[in-house]
Amino acid sequence: INAGLYAQELMENCKKVVSEENSSSNPGHVLVKSAMEAKSLGSSTALVAVLIGQ
């Protein structure tokens, strides 16, 4: 298990989900959907923030 590979895939999936859906998507939804789409095994800590008015 490569945690670094999983973390990279998770963040790439997050970018994909946000660009496909809506930039104002619920951050929890984005993270869960991204994790469900990950093919790599692993675990990761993620900090998710929403910037309003940016």
Q: 53: left (phi > 0), else alpha (psi -120 to 50), else beta?
A: left
Predicted confidence at residue 35, as pLDDT, reads: 95
Predicted confidence at residue 34, as pLDDT, reads: 94
Q: Tell me which residue of 28, 33, 34, 35 sits closest to 50, measured CA to CA.
A: 28
> How far, rounded to the nearest angstrom, does the alpha carbon of residue 47 sit from its chain's CA centroid?
10
pLDDT digits (tens, 9 = 90+) for 3-18: 799 999 999 999 999 8
For the chain, what are the domain ranges? 1-54
pLDDT digits (tens, 9 = 90+) for 16-54: 998 988 666 788 999 999 999 999 999 999 888 878 876
